[in-house]
Amino acid sequence: MKLGVIGCGKMGTALVEGAIRSGAVAAVDVTGVDPYQSARDQFAKSTAARSAADISALAGSEVILLCTKPHDVRAAMEAISEAMADKSVLVISIAAGITLSALEAAASEQIRLIRAMPNTPALIGKGAAGYCLGSKATGDDAKTARCLLEAVGLAVEVPERLMDAVTGLSGSGPAYVYLMIDALADGGVCAGLPRADALRLATQTVIGAACMVQETGEHPAILKDMVTSPGGTTIAGLAALERHGVRSALIEAVGVASRRATELGQ
C-alpha cells in the first residue's frame, strides 16, 4: 500500500506509526504532507517516512489519511483532486463533524471516501474509533480503513447517522475519564492519602476496572454487583454517586457532545 498523510500532527503521526508497527504499510511507502517544517521533521523522525510541504508529493498514493482541522478540509480535498488527476484513490478523513456529503461535494469523481473518528488514546495504541463508508467506497476500502484504525486500537463500522454519537462517546470520552481519575485522586487525598499515591491508585483502579469489562465480557452492572456487599463500603459510595447524579451527568455529557459534533458539521 502506498500511503499518504495530510496533516502530520499527533493523530496523523500516531496512525502512521501504528500502521508501520502492525506491518500494514512500510515506512518507505509513506509520505506525509504538512505546511509546517517542525511538524514534518517530527513526523519523519517518529515514522522514518518521507515528508513534504506540498500535496503534489502524494500523487503516487493509493490511500490518503486526511488529518487536517475541519476548516481546512475543503481546500485539502480540492488539492487532492488536482494531485490525483484521473487516478482512483481512497481518502480516509478524521476531521470532526465533516460529513460524507460535504467531503464528496469537494472531491472529484475518482475519489472514494471514508469518514472516521479516532480518539487520542490512539497515540499509545489504545484508541477507539468509529468509521463509515462513502457512496463509492468498496468492501476492500472498508478492510483498509479497519486495518489502519485497528493498528492503534479498536475500530467499529457504524452508519454515518451514528458518527456524531461516536464523537460524543469515544471521541470526547477520554476527557470524561481523566476528570474521573482526577476526582478519585482528590477523594483519596481528602481521605488522607498522599497526592502521588492517590493518583497512582486511582489510575490503576480505572485501568483494572476497564480491563475486567474487556477481558471477562461481563456486563459492567454484573461486575459492579460482584464488589458490592450488603451494607458495605462500596454500596455506600455508589449511593453517594447516585445522589449526586453522576450516572445521569455522564449520559448527558455524551448527548451534549454528540449534538455539538452535529452543530460543527453544519
The pLDDT tens digits for 129-157 are 999 999 999 999 999 999 999 999 999 99
pLDDT for the residue 96:
86
Same domain? For 251 and 134 the reply is: no
At 32-74, the pLDDT tens digits run 999 999 999 999 999 999 999 999 999 889 999 999 988 899 9
User: pLDDT averaged over the chain?
Assistant: 95
Same domain? For 157 and 187 the reply is: no
103-to-55, 57, 106, 255 alpha-carbon distances in Å: 17, 21, 5, 25
At 79-112, the pLDDT tens digits run 998 888 778 999 999 998 899 999 999 898 889 9
Domain annotation covers residue 94:
yes
pLDDT for the residue 266:
75
Same domain? For 222 and 98 the reply is: no
Domain annotation covers residue 178:
yes
pLDDT for the residue 71:
87
Are 45 and 38 in contact, with CB atoms under 8 Å apart? no
pLDDT for the residue 33:
97
**Count of structural domains, the chain:** 2
CB pairs under 8 A, 24+ apart, for 238-242? none
Domain containing residue 126: CATH number: 3.40.50.720
Domain annotation covers residue 61:
yes
Last residue within a domain, chosen from 135, 163, 191: 163
For residue 178, pLDDT beyond 90? yes
Last residue within a domain, chosen from 105, 131, 163: 163
Domain annotation covers residue 224:
yes
* Residue in the structure block whose three cell numbers are 469489562: 213
In a 3-state reduction of DSSP, which class is residue 246? helix
For residue 227, pLDDT beyond 80? yes
For residue 262, pLDDT beyond 90? no
For residue 24, pLDDT beyond 80? yes
Same domain? For 150 and 177 the reply is: no
Same domain? For 22 and 98 the reply is: yes
pLDDT for the residue 233:
97
Same domain? For 112 and 177 the reply is: no
* Residue in the structure block whose three cell numbers are 479497519: 146
Q: What is the share, in percent, of the chain residues with pLDDT greater than 90?
A: 88
Q: Tell me the backbone φ, ψ of residue 13, rounded to 5 degrees.
A: -65, -45
- The band of 11, judged by pLDDT with boundaries at 50, 70 and 90, is very high
Same domain? For 158 and 181 the reply is: no
Same domain? For 211 and 157 the reply is: no
Same domain? For 159 and 177 the reply is: no
Same domain? For 141 and 13 the reply is: yes
Domain containing residue 212: CATH number: 1.10.3730.10
pLDDT for the residue 84:
84
Question: Which of 22-31, 103-112, 197-206 has the least mean pLDDT?
Answer: 103-112
| Mean pLDDT value of segment 175-190 | 98
pLDDT for the residue 264:
80
At 231-249, the pLDDT tens digits run 999 999 999 999 999 999 9
Same domain? For 210 and 190 the reply is: yes
Phi-psi region of 153 (alpha: psi -120 to 50; beta: other; left: phi over 0): left
pLDDT for the residue 163:
95
Domain annotation covers residue 147:
yes
Q: Residue 208 sits in which domain range?
A: 173-264
Last residue within a domain, chosen from 128, 163, 198: 163
pLDDT for the residue 130:
97
For residue 13, pLDDT beyond 80? yes
Same domain? For 105 and 178 the reply is: no
85-to-88, 99, 108, 154 alpha-carbon distances in Å: 9, 23, 9, 34
